[in-house]
Structure 1
């Protein structure tokens, strides 16, 4: 799957098993940035992180809508969404 120069909604699992959702147009680069401690403030404090889910979209707006909707879910709903039922 192409993850460079796409519009991507992604979910990371942090070292403490918490979930972090975001948007990027280059998943590999963004993941490296998170693990280098230069990404989001949250992931900097909860490294290392690994990508456990992503979806690609035709537009940035669609990907950001998916990210926003995901963030509104309860943890159990998030796990179900990404195929990791509790």
Structure 2
């Protein structure tokens, strides 16, 4: 089973990743053997997880969620799925006339 997961870091930021072994990966993050980002922000805590049958599907979802704003990630974590469409905003500033 593959997973896309979101960690809450000690500084309040979120880290999004994917793995085939969630328990092992969480241990790596908290032991300082994970990503450089989490190494400087320990301890980390698992706040959200999705399961996939294939790692490439989990990886694609990871990349999708990494592109989201903090507000949209928080809505996902909190289960406010109805809020996700309105939080899907363009990252460009609209032209003013």
TM-score normalised according to structure 2 size:
0.78
In the aligned structure 1, how far is the partner of 2:16 from the partner of 2:37?
A: 11
Q: Where is the strand percentage greater, Structure 1 or Structure 2? A: 1
How many pairs align? 80
| Aligned counterpart, 2:49 | 54
Counterpart selection for 2:78 from 44, 64, 83: 83
Structure 1 spans left out of the alignment, 5+ residues: 1-5
Q: For residue 22 of structure 1, give the secondary structure of its aligned residue in structure 2.
A: strand
Q: Distance in 1 between matches of 2:24 and 2:48?
A: 15
1:15 to 10, 18, 30: 10
Unaligned 5+ residue runs, structure 2?
A: 81-97
Cα offset, 1:33, TM superposition: 0.5
- Please provide the CA RMSD for this pair: 1.1
